[in-house]
Structure 1
Amino acid sequence: MQVQKSFKGQSVYGTLYLVPTPIGNLEDMTFRAVQTLKEVDWICAEDTRNTGLLLKHFEIETRQISFHEHNAFEKIPDLLDLLKSGQSLAQVSDAGLPSISDPGHDLVKAAIAEDISVVALPGASAGITALIASGLAPQPHIFYGFLPRKAGQQKAFFQDKLAYPETQIFYESPYRVQDTLENMLEVYGNRPAVVVRELTKIYEEYQRGTISELIAYIDEQPLKGECLIIVSGLDADLARVEQESTDVDILSLIDQEIQSGLKPNQAIKTIAKTYKLNRQEVYNAYHNRD
């Protein structure tokens, strides 16, 4: 059991600050983030050249320490020594919130184990920013970060998450998005999904549709820039209707009604009523089928 009083404590140690940086637009840097970076003794940067440009823009002269996945193991003891000596550190990633896609989490765990205060500043997060404008259900959601690169590993990953109801958020290279969507389509079926690219930048773009529609669009319009994929979780009601549609061939019956002269929505209403199914669920199943 441990209780951290971030701003009212009596610790003789320094504080580890987790400071978010912009994910594209420099105006998303907060006043508090700038002030914190000016006041700490050291900035632990994923890429000192990249962070150096940010520091120069905001006229921050604090010294940097290189801290990334390739040197974290050897650097963490030295960083803990600085904190124990009373110096404060700020850890930043190249973009967004630190401690997610960088070794910051290992530093956080090590600091907590030594009873050193860890203070997180709120700020830009690509996954959450994209999610709330995606049009997909923002709650509940799961953030997974980067996916396995090999097709077999991806499909196994998706198969394991197939029945999850939560909206799922992934980071992906623009060169692999189409292949990833094809693997996703094979396992998940044709769910609603969104591809987001160049978030907060001048070419920011949301591509919203079904997975198959996104694949077709990307085939004609190759992607550039940093990308996210957001995909709907399993819709239990829709899955049930699709299963019932398979059992009694509901969708074929709708097609037959349309061929006999009914408009699609009238056919859906007729079949839903006949088989005592939810009309909206049948509508979604009919219009979202492959």
Structure 2
Amino acid sequence: MEGKLYLCPTPIGNLEDITLRVIHTLEACQAVYCEDTRRTGQLLRHLGVAKPLVSCHAHNEAQRGQEIVERVLAGEAIAYASDAGMPGISDPGERLIQRCQAAGAPYEVLPGPSASLTALVASGLPVQEAVFVGFLPRSGKERREWIARLGRQTGSLILYESPLRLSDTAKELAQAWGDRPAVLCRELTKLHQQVLPASLEALGRLYEAQPPKGECVLVVGGRAPAGPATESLEETLLRLLQGGLRAKDAARQASDLLDVPRNVAYARALELKEQLKNQSGSDTLE
């Protein structure tokens, strides 16, 4: 077998989804580097393949990458497999390819299972200009900035999320972007696979008390093209303020979503906040 690094996609649920090329590569290579030796070991035993397994995960990818490059340049055929799906998609692999490119080491990516593409097609949402997001940052400023930036995308958005955080994330996105079409793809290719077309607000309510089970991919419709139906600055600010955001935070999100100057958004947010405060006082008096 030609000396290369072979990135081998593995099943995301159904073991029958592995390709003949991947099986042949695993059989013929000199060693298999993998994200989790236990999980990949189970797959190899299922296939009847016995090969040396070497751990290569997010915390040692840089070190192992150099090792792999040296072995490939020496003429060895090395396979790499992540836990499930396509290496490099929310899994190690990206830096391995960068190492090979920098060193001039040959590599090949084999086609195969991918949760993101399977979910996108299954969602029924537009596939043109689709944006793969993966997991959002967990919290803080970085998460807010990601959400604001992604809110401007017109293509469908593909997100990975923990089932325990799905409801909160759907509510947070609905508050930032407004209610949008959203499709939950759960346990793809497995026995209890589910594709649930809904909206962000509906998914937030549905799983508020009881989270879904299994691995989840959330596909969300992109921002509507500019036109008469596009939400105005005032409508966006009102929605965000009524959702509990401070005027400063509402102005920042509205500015990012609608591409208006932040000082203009902030000035209008303060006016609207005062109006809401006065309106609340009037309702109380009545």
Please report the TM-score for the alignment, with normalisation by the length of structure 1: 0.76
Question: What is the 5 A alignment of 1:1-290?
Answer: 14-150=3-139, 153-219=142-208, 221-236=210-225, 240-243=228-231
Does the residue aligned with 1:222 lie in a helix, a strand or coil?
A: coil
CA RMSD in angstroms comes to 2.0
After superposition, what is the alpha-carbon deviation per residue over 1:168-197, rounded to whole angstroms, capped at 9, x for unaligned? 001111111111111101111000001111
Unmatched segments (≥5 aa) in structure 1: 1-6, 8-12, 248-290
Q: Relative to structure 1, is the Cα distance of residues 73 and 242 closer, same or farther in structure 2, using a 3 angstrom cutoff? A: closer
Distance 1:151 1:189 in 2: 20
Q: How many positions carry a matched residue from both structures?
A: 235
Distance 2:43 2:222 in 1: 37
The one-letter code of the counterpart of 1:89 is I
Is 34-43 or 95-104 further displaced after alignment?
95-104
1:253 maps to none
Ranges of 4+ aligned residues in structure 1 off by more than 6 Å: none
1:250 maps to none
Please report the TM-score for the alignment, with normalisation by the length of structure 2: 0.77
Which structure has the bigger radius of gyration? 1
Unmatched segments (≥5 aa) in structure 2: 236-286
The one-letter code of the counterpart of 1:59 is G
Q: Are the counterparts in 1 of residues 72 and 106 from structure 2 also a CA contact under 8 Å?
A: no
After TM superposition, give the deviation of residue 226 of structure 1 in Å: 0.6
Does the residue aligned with 2:160 lie in a helix, a strand or coil?
A: strand
The one-letter code of the counterpart of 2:144 is K
1:10 maps to none
Identical positions, percent:
38
Q: Are the counterparts in 1 of residues 33 and 80 from structure 2 also a CA contact under 8 Å?
A: yes
Distance 2:144 2:197 in 1: 22
Is 89-98 or 102-111 further displaced after alignment?
102-111
